[in-house]
Amino acid sequence: MAARGTYDAGGVRADIEKGTRMDLGLKGKKAIVTGGTRGIGLKIAQTLAGEGCDIAICARDGAMVEQTVASLGACGVAAHGGALDVTDSTATRSWIEASAGQLGGLDILVANVSALAGTPDEDAWRRGLETDILGTVRVVEAALPFLEKSSAASIVAIASTAALESFMGVRAYNGIKAALIAYMSGLSSALAPQGIRANTISPGTIFFEGGVWDKRRADAPDAYAAALDHNPMGRMGTPEDVANAVAFIASPAAGFITGTNLVVDGAFTRRIQF
């Protein structure tokens, strides 16, 4: 049974009161977020900036990057950005290095870009590998020399609950996100002696205007309704739900948490997590 309250089209409650934020120790930290102009990536960037992080973002649309950087700067932090396709290895590594230089260092790297490779064909697998996996590898490798100098270094990759159980049939997306979780787990062990943490966030069904579930509501209303009904909390998640989890796990407040895949899905997945 759905929780009582007023809901929007995504089943998101409109009457949840905002609580008081705890001090996460993020003020003055330097953060980079890839894919930071819309949806989850945008909300992550806004949340980190709101917590006092100086920030750099990238996305393929230069106009959207410029607009987003201006809005982030209005939070009273230093904000930078650039148009970037993370499948371009040379440009990606150069942008990370330049951004860390502009920020005056780097404490937090959030790898959020995804090809959303939702089909099982070879092209989808290639796009997912180039964007989600190699795109993350590129930004991590370029960021490491700067993260090594931080006293609170953290890497966060955005995966998906689709990696954790059979979901919507055979898709490249599911396997690619599972590989991303494995990559971050390996990083956590390798980088722990240097004080660099590496974690993954796996969102469930996240609704925002123009997003996957908004489009599915229009194009596949039965599938959308079934997914919404499958949510025990009676709603889909929001980008803010994911961004708050990222802010915490990236922060000094989570300083002993590494190698974790934090599921943000309102109990959507039916499994026991060990």
- What is the torsional sign of CA 28, 32, 38, 44? negative
> Long-range contacts: 80-83, Cβ < 8 Å, 24+?
80/55, 80/56, 81/36, 81/56, 81/57, 82/56, 82/58, 83/58, 83/59
Name which of 178, 183, 156, 158 is nearest 167 in CA terms. 178
Name the residue with tokens 């609580």.
19
Tokens of 168: 């919507």
Task: Indicate if 183 belongs to the active site.
Answer: no
State the DSSP string of 102-155. HHTS-SEEEE-------S-SHHHHHHHIIIIIHHHHHHHHHHHHHHTT-SS-EE
Name the residue with tokens 């945008």.
42
Tokens of 160: 């998906």
Q: Which residues are catalytic?
A: 173
